[in-house]
Structure 1
Amino acid sequence: MATDYDTPRKTDDDVNEDSIEELKSRRNDKSASAVDVDEFEAVEGLELPGADLSNEELSVRVLPRQADEFTCMSCFLVHHRSQLAGEKNGQPICRDCE
């Protein structure tokens, strides 16, 4: 069946739509029922630059470099041997820095 896209697409539901004023009042009612969230709670855990962290302890376990890892002499990151691109001036270089 062919569809004529130039014909108006109004249905019976469109004719019985609410007025603009009713739609606006419904929108205002919905926004009034929204729950207010205290933004201070979300910001409470953030640290400011220059904050005193002398009493803080590391919660991450740091492992020494493993036998199958190397330190890139360009970015100074520890990579797996599979990321070794070659050597530059006798120093190992990773694929990202190559």
Structure 2
Amino acid sequence: MATDYDAPRKNADDDDTDSIEELKTHRTDKTSSSRVDEDETDAAEGFELPGADLSGEELSVQVLPRQQDEFTCTSCFLVKHRSQLHAAQSRGDGQLICNDCAD
């Protein structure tokens, strides 16, 4: 049997179609009872994670300034050793890019 895919399809639900006025009242009922979307940051402020209070913690890491054999990548802004400088930097454009960012 051939099927005409362009013909409108009829479902069992089509027999029970409501009038436009009934559909409008259902729609207004659903929208009035639904909650207003909250901003994610506002909703997240109320959550308290266990063990998340780090106010009494101090860092024990010593920060050193950039050394003479290091450079700052202009793409990822990480300080890297000169051995990680991309080989194409000899063109003289002044952009220091690491091997990771050049790939």
What TM-score results when the alignment is normalised by the length of structure 1? 0.46
- Report the structure, 1 or 2, having the larger strand content: 1
- Report the structure, 1 or 2, having the larger helix content: 2
